Structure 1
């Protein structure tokens, strides 16, 4: 029998911890609770516990929750656990800082159970995909360092994720670039080629049907021959990623800033965060079915675990 997914909830409010535990119990998750950085670290450091995802409050009685996250990154056994930060702050600067530090997602309180479950599931699933690719990522990095001009064609979310993870090694800002590339490549598949709009995705995520809908559309006569392309160009000073899909485009201006209506949604802030965190420039061209992301190679590197 497979062990249950275990979430560690670090929050100094007992009621919040209980509510989160109740939400996650509905999808079969086990939860452990801590009210401080010290308690959270004690649980994480205990080899008897296998933690799959951490929900971390920013404001704890003994400091900023990101301090615990920084400790986690210092140990290889903990560094790859996805961390979801939860806070009352809706500051775009705070969100960007947390994403740059490497957290998986940033939830604004209060939020509903459907949103929490969706984000936690996504974190655990994405963590599994990352682990499956890490075995040969170093050898790929050596080859990617030689890249100067390349074109890729992709159709599925899995292919988009594989490309994002592999190609992010082209720059020192690997974590941030993985996040940014993943967002624009996944958007090309889901929103561009498959035509899953913002409202439809909200409903599908709420009822747990998004993956089934993506698979159905990929196999449908209307969409099965569609693909997106990625053109990568590298010079000595910068890398340019051009993503083009076969969709009709969209109004990108609506999603280029992290605004109030997006802060409590299950999705929609990815493009804004990709622009803030993943790239030095992010520009949508024409109707919105082409996007160009630029990374300067002299950009400061992502934080590296000791």
Structure 2
């Protein structure tokens, strides 16, 4: 059965490349040019959209306002939202990306865009929503006991272990769904780039041919990598949660990745650290050569505000 998909964009900003790509996939399209009408469609009693694509150039910052309304309504918080970025200069693009991230968007496409990129981004957004749904269920089942955790240490080696640990540790944060993105990025970066030496360019090419995970698993099984680990230490004090992630790699020049580089804005990789810093944590810093990352989540700061009713 086709998945219902809502596109919110001015007619001239919903190019054939976008609708054509979605026509290739298994989607039933609804298009709205007015954010208010789009909101009524999304919140209708019988609405069951699988995802929403929002044009960031809607008048009067209507795209960001619609995104904010979606993310602030609990029953829609896990709805996959993809922001369509306009063809602007690099400085404005970086500003729009930051604004989208701070409002709750994690997935972006350019305008115009390749059909394959649209479908890949949609699939990634819907997979992410499934992970967050499972995380919310685990949070309810845990009864909030992970918030009582004060000290803990963990060691992981593989992608599967990293993803499972990220979901577990996220439950200790005031807003687990926000922490999950950043924790996953830090752990996976430590494995793939730190311990296994996969470069930015190698990952980009592997992602394009859907071979990235196979290559990570292959390298992890090599004799020279069997003893390499990623270590995670969690510490909570009166007003913050500190998460320290370290690996056995040679380190990297982390300064190039803390903020968005517009040249990498729509690459399949290279944005994770910047996204984690802006969207998941109240602070993110690296020690020395980059083998140690320290993330800070404040109990009453932006990353913890929702849990405290702010």
Query: Normalization by structure 1: what TM-score?
Result: 0.85
Q: Tell me the CA shift for residue 183 of structure 1.
A: 1.7
> 1:155 is matched with which residue?
157
> Which of residues 244, 256, 259 in structure 1 aligns to 2:258?
256
Question: Contact between 1:82 and 1:104, CA under 8 Å: does it hold in 2?
Answer: no
Secondary structure of the residue aligned to 2:197 is: coil
> 2:80 is matched with which residue?
82
- Structure 1: stretches of 5+ with no match in the other structure: none
Tell me how far apart the structure 2 counterparts of residues 243 and 114 of structure 1 sit (CA, whole Å).
34
> Which of residues 56, 69, 76 in structure 2 aligns to 1:71?
69
Tell me how far apart the structure 2 counterparts of residues 71 and 188 of structure 1 sit (CA, whole Å).
35
Tell me how far apart the structure 2 counterparts of residues 298 and 62 of structure 1 sit (CA, whole Å).
31
- Structure 2: stretches of 5+ with no match in the other structure: none
> Which of residues 121, 131, 142 in structure 1 aligns to 2:144?
142
Q: Tell me the CA shift for residue 56 of structure 1.
A: 0.8
Question: Contact between 2:132 and 2:177, CA under 8 Å: does it hold in 1?
Answer: no
Aligned length: 304
Tell me how far apart the structure 2 counterparts of residues 92 and 141 of structure 1 sit (CA, whole Å).
39
> Which of residues 202, 211, 214 in structure 1 aligns to 2:204?
202
Q: For 1:228-248, what per-residue CA distance to the aligned partner results, in whole angstroms no more than 9, with x for missing partners? A: 111111111222111112222
Q: Tell me the CA shift for residue 261 of structure 1.
A: 1.4
Question: Contact between 2:228 and 2:248, CA under 8 Å: does it hold in 1?
Answer: yes
Query: Normalization by structure 2: what TM-score?
Result: 0.84
Alpha-carbon RMSD: 2.9
Q: Tell me the CA shift for residue 45 of structure 1.
A: 3.5
Secondary structure of the residue aligned to 2:148 is: coil
> Which of residues 102, 107, 128 in structure 2 aligns to 1:105?
107
Structure 2 CA distance for partners of 1:135 and 1:175, relative to 1, 3 Å: closer
Q: Tell me the CA shift for residue 268 of structure 1.
A: 1.0
Question: Contact between 1:12 and 1:60, CA under 8 Å: does it hold in 2?
Answer: yes
Q: For 1:26-69, what per-residue CA distance to the aligned partner results, in whole angstroms no more than 9, with x for missing partners? A: 45444332222134234424555532221111222575112222
Tell me how far apart the structure 2 counterparts of residues 124 and 94 of structure 1 sit (CA, whole Å).
22
> 1:238 is matched with which residue?
240
> 1:180 is matched with which residue?
182
Tell me how far apart the structure 2 counterparts of residues 247 and 29 of structure 1 sit (CA, whole Å).
43
> Which of residues 278, 285, 288 in structure 1 aligns to 2:287?
285
